[in-house]
Amino acid sequence: MRKLTILISVLCAFTFAQDEQKKVAIYIAGDVNEKSINLRMVIDDAFVNNSEYRIVTTSKAAAAVAAKEMGRQTSGSVRSEKRVEMGNDSEADYVCAVQIRPPDKKGEHMLRIYIIDMITKEAIPGKSKVIISDLEGSKEILRAGQEIAGYILGTSAQSGGNTGRTAGGGTCPSDMVFVKGGTFTMGCTSEQSNCENNERPTHSVTVGDFCIGKYEVTQKEWMNIMGGNPSSFKNCGDNCPVEMVSWNDVQEFTRKLSRQTGKDYRLPTEAEWEYAARGGNNYSPYLYSGSNSVDNVGWYSGNSGNTTRPVGRKAPNELGIYDMSGNVWEWVSDWYDSGYYGRFEGNNPKGPNSGSHRVLRGGSWNGNAQYCRVAFRSYYAPVIRSDYGGFRLALSL
C-alpha cells in the first residue's frame, strides 16, 4: 500500500509545471476506510522533503465537494464553479484527487485520478484510471504504480523491480522524462491531415531508450549556462522558452552544460523527437502531441497572443512531456533532406550525413495549427536565429 501511495504522490507532484514551490491540495475519496486514511497520511509524508511542491490543508467541506465531483465526472472535465471551490478553499495551485472505487464482481478496484490546474481552472487530460485487483498485494501495487509512473512521469518499470534507468551514471534528471524505446510508424500516418510530401512515405522506425526534456529549455536555463539572454520575448519571463538561438548556438550550450554536469546532453534525433511527441509506447493516434485539439496542448497563432508563453502551461502528452506542439519550433540534430524518408536507416536513424539545413519540429506561437502536427517537418540553415525557434534537450541511455 505504501509503494502505491508514494507513486500516486509522485504522479500528483510531477505532472505539474516546474516553477517556484507550488501548493498542492490532495483529496482521497470514494471507498473511504482505514486504507484510504493511511493512504493520505503516506502521501503527506512523501511531500515533506519535496523542494518544488508542498501539501496544503483543506476543509472537510472542500473534500466533500471533490468527492462528489469525482463521482459525477467521466470525461476529465470539471464544472467551473466546482474547480474554483475545490482550489480556493486551500488557495492551492493544483488539486490532485484520487478516488478509490469499491471492488467490482471480480474483486478489482478502480483508482480514478483527476488533476486540476488552478491557474487555468482546467482538468489536465491524460490517463485517469488504474485497475488493481488487490489493494494489499505488493505485486499488484507495484504493477499499478509502474503503469501510472510509466504513463505520466515517463519512467518505465524494469526487470528486477527497478522503476527507472540510468543516464551517464545516474537517473534521468528531474526535468527530463524517461522514454522507453520501441518501434513506431513515422511520417504521414492515417490521423495526420494535409500532409506535406516530405512526410512521406510512412516507415517503421525503432529507437532505443533515452531521456528527453519535459519542457523546452527556458530563458533562465540558457542564462545560467551562457551568461546572457538572446530572446526577443524577455518580458515573457524566465520560465518562457529561450528563442533567437541558432542550431550552432545550441551546440555550444550543450557542450557547456555537459562539461558542467558530466552528462552528455544533446539534441534529440528527428526520430526520437517524433516518437516522444507521439507518446512512445503509450501512443494514441492524435493529430497533435497529446490531443486532437491543438488548444489543449499548444500555443499557436490562434491562442498565443503573438508571444511565447511560459513552458508547461498546456496539457502534457501521454509521456508527461509539455509543449511538443507549439510555443517554439524545436531544433533536432538531423540534417534535412526532403526525400530522406524514402531511404531511412532503420534502427536509431540519425538522418542524412550532410546537408545545408537542420530539421525543426513542433510548430510555434506564430504559426497555424497545421504546423503543430506531430508529423510536420520544417527546416532552417543552422546559423539562423528566430523569435519562434528554440529547443529541448535529450540524453542517451
Q: What is the DSSP track for 212-225?
A: EESSPPBHHHHHHH
Counting every residue, how long is the chain? Answer: 397
Confirm whether 182 is domain-assigned.
yes
Q: Are 305 and 374 in contact (CB under 8 A)?
A: no
Residue 280 and residue 185 in one domain: yes
Tell whether the model's pLDDT for residue 125 goes beyond 90: no
Tell whether the model's pLDDT for residue 122 goes beyond 60: no
pLDDT band at 156; cut points 50, 70, 90: very low
DSSP result, 153-174: I-----GGG----EETTEEPPT
- CA separation for the pair 266, 20 (Å, rounded): 26
Tell me which amino acid residue 100 is: I
Q: What is the CATH number of the domain that holds 214?
A: 3.90.1580.10
Check residue 284 and give its pLDDT: 86
3 state SS of 276: helix
Helices (H), 59-149: 60-72, 80-88, 138-148
Please give the tally of structural domains in the chain. Answer: 2
Burial grade of 383 (CB within 10 A; 0-12, 13-18, 19 or more): exposed
H or E segment and range at residue 36: helix 34-46
Confirm whether 159 is domain-assigned.
no
Collect all residues with Cβ–Cβ distance below 8 Å to 295 and sequence separation of at least 6. 302, 303
Beta strands in the chain (DSSP E): 22-30, 53-55, 94-100, 109-117, 122-123, 129-132, 166-167, 170-171, 176-179, 182-186, 203-207, 210-213, 265-266, 329-335, 358-361, 377-380, 389-390, 394-396
Residue 254 and residue 341 in one domain: yes
Mean pLDDT computed over 371-395: 98
- CA separation for the pair 164, 180 (Å, rounded): 10
Q: Dig out the grid coordinates for 215 from the structure.
A: 519542457
Tell whether the model's pLDDT for residue 317 goes beyond 70: yes
Residue 306 and residue 198 in one domain: yes
Domain containing 133: what range? 2-153
Q: Are 90 and 58 in contact (CB under 8 A)?
A: yes
Residue 90 and residue 213 in one domain: no
Q: Are 385 and 245 in contact (CB under 8 A)?
A: yes
Tell me which amino acid residue 217 is: V
Confirm whether 66 is domain-assigned.
yes
Q: Is the pTM of this model over 0.85?
A: no
Residue 355 and residue 386 in one domain: yes
pLDDT band at 108; cut points 50, 70, 90: confident
Cα dihedral 273/275/278/282 (nearest 10): -140
Confirm whether 210 is domain-assigned.
yes
Check residue 216 and give its pLDDT: 98
Q: Are 279 and 259 in contact (CB under 8 A)?
A: no
Residue 133 and residue 13 in one domain: yes
Q: Compute the mean pLDDT over every residue in the chain, rounded to the nearest whole number.
A: 77
Q: Are 149 and 172 in contact (CB under 8 A)?
A: no
Check residue 80 and give its pLDDT: 46
- Indicate the residue among 118, 153, 188 that finishes a domain: 153
Mean pLDDT computed over 109-119: 65
Tell whether the model's pLDDT for residue 180 goes beyond 50: yes
Share of the chain above pLDDT 90, in %: 51
3 state SS of 345: coil
- Indicate the residue among 103, 128, 153 that finishes a domain: 153
Q: What is the CATH number of the domain that holds 135?
A: 3.40.50
pLDDT band at 169; cut points 50, 70, 90: very low
Tell whether the model's pLDDT for residue 97 goes beyond 50: yes
Tell whether the model's pLDDT for residue 336 goes beyond 80: yes
Task: State the greatest distance between any 2 C-alpha atoms of the chain, in Å, as a whole number.
Answer: 65
CB atoms within 10 A of CB 234: 11
Check residue 138 and give its pLDDT: 44
Residue 92 and residue 190 in one domain: no
Query: What are the tens digits of pLDDT across the range 69-84?
Result: 544 443 344 444 554 5
Confirm whether 178 is domain-assigned.
yes
Mean pLDDT computed over 324-346: 93
- CA separation for the pair 268, 245 (Å, rounded): 16
Residue 132 and residue 188 in one domain: no
Mean pLDDT computed over 64-71: 52
Q: Dig out the grid coordinates for 368 from the structure.
A: 497555424
- Indicate the residue among 153, 180, 195 that finishes a domain: 153
Query: What are the tens digits of pLDDT across the range 6-46?
Result: 444 544 544 444 445 667 676 665 554 544 444 455 455 54
User: Most confidently modeled of 94-103, 116-125, 249-258?
Assistant: 249-258
126 or 184, which is more confident? 184
Q: Are 332 and 267 in contact (CB under 8 A)?
A: yes
Check residue 130 and give its pLDDT: 58
Query: What are the tens digits of pLDDT across the range 231-277?
Result: 999 999 999 999 999 999 999 999 999 999 999 999 999 999 999 99
DSSP state of 312: T
- CA separation for the pair 247, 330 (Å, rounded): 10
Residue 111 and residue 222 in one domain: no
DSSP state of 102: P
Tell whether the model's pLDDT for residue 161 goes beyond 50: no
- From the list 397, 258, 251, 224, the residue with the least C-alpha distance to 332 is 251
282 or 125, which is more confident? 282
Residue 250 and residue 291 in one domain: yes
- CA separation for the pair 138, 129 (Å, rounded): 19
Residue 245 and residue 282 in one domain: yes
Residue 263 and residue 139 in one domain: no
In the chain, what are the helix, strand and coil shares in percent, each to the nearest 5?
Answer: 30, 20, 50
Place of cell 488504474: 130
Confirm whether 158 is domain-assigned.
no
User: Most confidently modeled of 70-79, 92-101, 173-182, 328-337?
Assistant: 328-337
Confirm whether 161 is domain-assigned.
no
Tell whether the model's pLDDT for residue 225 goes beyond 90: yes
Confirm whether 335 is domain-assigned.
yes
Check residue 152 and give its pLDDT: 33
Mean pLDDT computed over 331-338: 98
